[in-house]
Amino acid sequence: MAQLSDDCFVFGGPMQPVDEVAALIASRLSAVEESEAIPLALADGRVLAKDMVALLPLPPFTNSAVDGYALRGEDLPETAEIAFPVSGRIQAGMSPGQSILSGEAMRIFTGAPMPDGADTVFMQEDVRLDDSGRVVLPPGLKRGANVRPKGEDIAEGKVALPAGHRMRPQDVALAAALGMTEVEVRRRIRVAIFSTGDEIVAPGSIRGPAQLFDSNRFMLTAMLARLGCDITDLGILADDGGLIAGKLADAAAAHDLILTSGGVSTGEADYVKAAVESIGTLVFWRVAIKPGRPVAMGVVRGTAFIGLPGNPVASFVTFAHVARAAILTLAGARLEPLIARPVRAAFSYRKKEGRREYVRVSLRTVGDGSYEAVKFPREGAGLLSSLVETDGLVELGEKVTRVEPGETVRFLSYSDLN
């Protein structure tokens, strides 16, 4: 495990601003060191352990971009069409054999290597054959047209993908095109997760009249899985300080991160916070974020700990804006800034200065094709329907105190938060 020291975070006051939390995470957490070589077919979602260097230019040879006729650029008809004898035929996968001579054309197909001397290709749709089998080429084509030069996509020796990159399908394609069969990736980070609360029971078990089925653990597990974590599910723990402390200590021995939900606010029944303090260090436990606020971060026996609030919406939002950065940092992934889409607010809103707020919204298109954000009508942090029936979050910065209809606001899609 990556060992953290108990004082690896600095306590910055009672309510930690979101940006300070992000800076602390980036500067104090370090990536797991171990890496492994895995088959390329399993690489989607994994984090590259080192730069992937192109050992080959792409394309590896200059080739035709179309089905047509290749010729030397200096022979291109300038003002009137010219008929050329067709001196050969090159199909994809063949080597061109002979080079092209002045005054000749060659039949060529998409992806076939350009013959020596040729640098331009006419599309077959733009030419015709005359009675003696010569190809008649019209004037006006630019030299170099319809040719894909060697290395135009990726130059040999270039860093094709940097260390820390999280592989996507198109990145897997690039690695394959470079001839790689394996990639060197960081090992998956090991995350232990549990829910807390006497009122929480697992779906499938008997629910007492004052109990709720555990939804957070399933949501957070799905979010962790999308970030490529190896997950140990520790179930639901009762509100019992000793029990929770024991589980935390056990989990710390074999995991890079312990993620919990519930039990971290100021109430008397907030056993998780107390348990962390009893066997480790709590670095902060309140973040200036809404929904959210009680988000605890700490270190238990060298392992990072993040305690998310129990309310499902608060859990979701703080996972996306606090836990996600910590997870990606531990996993060795480069943190790409989230790309917010500017949209027009279709709502008015009041908020307190000094904290960041996320408003659940649906997008709808307006007359000119732009988008408008419609706020979910209710605000409760326990309303799962408010996440299910919306498209994403409008982010309102610390300084904002009001939003009026028609104002431009920043929209973050749920699909970008994983």
- Chain residues that interact with Mg ion, rule: CB under 5 A: 197, 262-263, 310
Q: Which residue, 197 or 280, is less far from Mg ion as judged by CB? A: 197
Binders in 170-199 for ligand AMP, by CB under 6 A: 195, 197, 199
Q: Which residue, 2 or 269, is less far from ligand AMP as judged by CB? A: 269
Provide, rounded to whole angstroms, the least separation between the CB of residue 292 and ligand AMP.
11
Task: Judge whether 315 and 216 are in contact, CB under 8 Å.
Answer: yes
Q: Which residue, 167 or 314, is less far from Mg ion as judged by CB? A: 314
Provide, rounded to whole angstroms, the least separation between the CB of residue 311 and Mg ion.
10
Provide, rounded to whole angstroms, the least separation between the CB of residue 41 and ligand AMP.
35
Rounded Cα gap, residues 336 and 316, in angstroms: 20
Q: From ligand AMP, Mg ion, none, which one binds at residue 215 (CB under 5 to 8 Å depending on kind)?
A: ligand AMP
Q: Which residue, 117 or 312, is less far from ligand AMP as judged by CB? A: 312
Q: 382-403: string of b/e by CB count within 10 Å (b at 16+)?
A: ebeebbeebbbbbbbebebeeb
Rounded Cα gap, residues 63 and 240, in angstroms: 69
Provide, rounded to whole angstroms, the least separation between the CB of residue 39 and ligand AMP.
37
| Cβ-based neighbours of 368, under 8 Å, separated by 6 or more | none
Residue 262 binds to ligand AMP (criterion: CB under 6 A):
yes
CA nearest neighbour of 305 among 329, 289, 324, 281: 281
Task: Judge whether 145 and 120 are in contact, CB under 8 Å.
Answer: yes
| Cβ-based neighbours of 264, under 8 Å, separated by 6 or more | 270, 272, 273, 285, 294, 295, 296, 307, 308, 309, 310
Q: Which residue, 263 or 292, is less far from Mg ion as judged by CB? A: 263
Provide, rounded to whole angstroms, the least separation between the CB of residue 308 and Mg ion.
11
Q: Which residue, 86 or 274, is less far from ligand AMP as judged by CB? A: 274
Residue 261 binds to ligand AMP (criterion: CB under 6 A):
yes
Binders in 273-312 for ligand AMP, by CB under 6 A: 309-312
Q: Which residue, 144 or 267, is less far from ligand AMP as judged by CB? A: 267
Q: Which residue, 150 or 286, is less far from ligand AMP as judged by CB? A: 286
Provide, rounded to whole angstroms, the least separation between the CB of residue 312 and Mg ion.
12
Per-residue contact flags (x/-) with ligand AMP for residues 199 to 228, judged by CB under 6 A: xx-----------x-xxxx-----------
Binders in 368-387 for ligand AMP, by CB under 6 A: 382
Provide, rounded to whole angstroms, the least separation between the CB of residue 210 and ligand AMP.
10
Q: From ligand AMP, Mg ion, none, which one binds at residue 120 (CB under 5 to 8 Å depending on kind)?
A: none
Rounded Cα gap, residues 191 and 221, in angstroms: 9
**CA 320 vs CA 12, 22, 50, 193, 392: distances in Å:** 21, 12, 26, 16, 11
Provide, rounded to whole angstroms, the least separation between the CB of residue 272 and ligand AMP.
8
Q: Which residue, 57 or 312, is less far from ligand AMP as judged by CB? A: 312
Q: From ligand AMP, Mg ion, none, which one binds at residue 217 (CB under 5 to 8 Å depending on kind)?
A: ligand AMP
Rg (CA), the chain: 30
Provide, rounded to whole angstroms, the least separation between the CB of residue 360 and ligand AMP.
17
Binders in 312-331 for ligand AMP, by CB under 6 A: 312
Q: From Mg ion, ligand AMP, none, which one binds at residue 214 (CB under 5 to 8 Å depending on kind)?
A: ligand AMP
> Which residues of the shown chain bind ligand AMP in the complex (CB under 6 A)?
195, 197, 199-200, 212, 214-217, 261-263, 265, 267, 309-312, 382
